[in-house]
C-alpha cells in the first residue's frame, strides 16, 4: 500500500531553510522498527507519524518522547486553527496555527536540581571556563543542560570534545546539551556523539526561554527571536516567549514559520 507524506521546513522564512521534516498523516499500521527505518531512509532530522489519537516522533537513532519542530510542522500540515497532540508519555500539548505560523505551548518548565561544574562543562564543549555563565538543567519534555556562553566567538569555537557526553550529561540529570549565546540569543546543539549538528531545536528553545527569564535576560511575555543553524548553512528563526517571573516561570511557548516544500509517496513499506 502506498504511504504518502508531506515535506516541510520548520522555523523557515522560505523553503530550503530551517529544519526539514517528514510528516505522515494517518499512515497504515507501522511498527516502531518500520517507523525508524523510514526516518533513516528519508534522512530528515526527525519524522513524525500522526494518527487521530497520538503522535510518534523519531530521529535517526530512536523514538523521542517529545520534540518541538515535528509538532509545529505536523500542525501546519493539518491546517487546523488549534491541534492537541498526545505524546508517547500520555502528555497533551497544544499547537495553534495562523497561516504559515505555528505556536507550541510547552507548558511549565521544570528546573532540575543539579550542580554542574563550569570548568568541566566548558571542557566537554571545547571551551574555556571563562566563556561560560552558570549552566542549568531545564526540561519541557526533554532534559537539556542549557550552557550559556558570554558571546564573542565562543559559540563558533564550541564543539563536543567529551568522549562520552551521554554519560557526562546523565550524571547531571540531563539528556542533551544546548549552547546559548546570551547576548546574540543564538543557540547550537549536536547529537551527543558530536557528529551531527541540529539546524533548529524546538524542544531546547523552550528551555532557553525559561533560562533567559529566570536569569533576567528577557521580560515576561516578551517575544524573542532565537537564531540557530548558522553553522550548518540552514539559518532558522525560533520565536520564544516565557511567562511568569524570574522566581516562577509558569509557561513557555515556541513558534515559527512552516514552509511547505512538497509531498511524496513511499511505494513499499519497510
Catalytic positions are 46
Three-state secondary structure call for residue 230: helix
CA dihedral 185, 43, 142, 198 (to 10 degrees): -20
Number of H-type helices and E-type strands within the chain: 6, 16
Three-state secondary structure call for residue 32: helix
249-266/236-244 β-pairing: antiparallel
Q: Is the dihedral of CA 58, 61, 66, 72 positive or negative?
A: negative
**CA–CA separation, 9 vs 20, rounded Å?**
4
CA distances from 162 to 62, 168, 204 (A): 22, 8, 20
Phi/psi of residue 151, nearest 5 degrees: 120, -155
Locus of grid cell 574555556: 128
Amino acid at each position: 500500500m502506498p504511504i504518502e507524506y508531506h515535506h516541510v521546513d520548520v522555523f523557515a522564512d522560505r523553503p530550503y531553510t530551517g529544519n526539514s521534516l517528514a510528516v505522515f498523516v494517518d499512515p497504515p499500521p507501522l511498527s516502531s522498527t518500520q517507523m525508524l527505518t523510514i526516518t533513516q531512509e528519508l534522512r530528515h532530522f526527525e519524522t513524525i507519524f500522526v494518527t487521530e489519537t497520538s503522535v510518534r516522533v523519531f530521529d535517526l537513532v530512536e523514538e523521542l518522547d517529545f520534540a518541538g519542530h515535528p509538532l509545529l510542522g505536523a500542525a501546519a500540515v493539518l491546517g487546523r486553527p488549534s491541534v492537541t497532540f498526545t505524546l508517547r508519555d500520555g502528555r497533551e500539548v497544544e499547537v495553534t496555527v495562523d497561516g504559515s505560523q505555528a505556536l507550541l505551548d510547552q507548558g511549565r518548565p521544570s528546573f532540575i536540581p543539579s550542580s554542574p561544574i563550569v570548568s568541566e562543562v566548558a571542557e566537554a564543549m571545547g571551551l574555556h571556563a571563562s566563556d561560560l555563565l552558570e549552566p542549568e538543567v531545564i526540561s519541557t519534555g526533554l532534559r537539556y543542560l542549557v550552557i550559556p556562553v558570554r558571546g564573542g566567538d565562543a559559540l563558533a569555537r564550541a564543539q563536543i570534545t567529551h568522549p562520552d557526553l551521554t554519560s557526562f550529561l546523565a550524571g547531571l540529570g540531563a539528556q542533551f546539551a544546548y549552547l546559548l549565546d546570551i547576548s546574540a540569543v543564538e543557540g547550537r546543539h549536536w547529537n551527543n556523539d558530536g557528529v551531527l549538528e541540529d539546524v533548529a531545536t524546538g524542544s531546547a528553545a523552550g528551555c532557553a526561554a525559561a533560562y533567559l527569564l529566570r536569569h533576567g535576560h528577557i521580560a515576561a511575555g516578551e517575544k524573542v527571536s532565537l537564531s540557530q543553524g548558522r553553522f550548518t548553512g540552514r539559518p532558522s528563526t525560533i520565536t520564544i516567549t516565557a511567562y511568569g517571573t524570574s522566581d516562577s516561570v509558569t509557561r513557555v511557548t515556541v513558534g515559527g514559520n512552516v514552509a511547505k516544500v512538497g509531498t511524496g509517496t513511499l511505494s513499499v513499506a519497510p
